[in-house]
A = this chain, B = another copy of it.
Amino acid sequence: MLATEFKEAITAADRVLVQIRTAIVEGEIPAGTKISEPELARRYDLSRAPLREALARLERCHLIERTPNAGARVVKLSIEGLRSLYQLREELEGLACRLAAEHMTEQEIAEVRALLDQHLSTQRVREGESYYQEAGDVDFHYRVILGSKNPYLINILSDELYFLVRMYRVQLGMNGPRVSRAFDEHKAIINAIANRDGELADLLMRRHIAASKRNIEQQLLQQGTSHG
């Protein structure tokens, strides 16, 4: 829904979707929690009808898992889940890069470059605040995905998979030297796209995502061994 979230009328189901989704992604509702419809309805002050609509969409982006007559649980983060997710993400964002190199206008490319410069400057000011890095990164990837001009690809990546990706990143964090390296990798990717070199952009994106995966993987391993 991210792509179409601000078009047209906004309904109560849309509002509560954004609220619950944010709560799950940021860990306010912890991973693995049982979802109680009556409780959430009270908490967000609405009836169960729009709430269930929101839950259906949360299931769609793999943030919750429902079993008929038994209710829903917030998804748990795991190494296998991370690997499956990023395996797919590498492939799809690689494809997005090839298509973006073909379809993005010079205008759009210039906008992404401006965006990167802007992110770099705000990052220098806000050194260490991982939220800005997170937001900037999502923004960059989002632009490239849109640049593919393939509606199904855009839908899958930005409306379905990306909230789960963000959940892994927000809850397990981006640490150390990766934060600054990511900027350079973004620059290299947009340069390849600007040169209409789809193959290179694809390769660079895959490596970029693989590096990000290794980073999160380590966090997961550390966390798993420290109190397991």
Contacts and interface: CB of A to CB of B under 8 A. Distances in A.
Nearest to A92: B91
Given A52-B53, A56-B57, A91-B95, A69 B11 contact: yes
* Interface size, A (range): 20 to 34
Interface in A1-23: 8-11, 14
B68 A11 contact: yes
A95 B90 CA distance: 11
A160 B57 CA distance: 13
Contacts of A188: none
A195 interface: no
Interface stretch (A138-146, A150-158, A179-187): A150-158
Interface of A: 8-11, 14, 49, 52-53, 56-57, 60, 62, 67-70, 84-85, 87-88, 91-92, 95, 99, 150-153, 155-156, 160-161
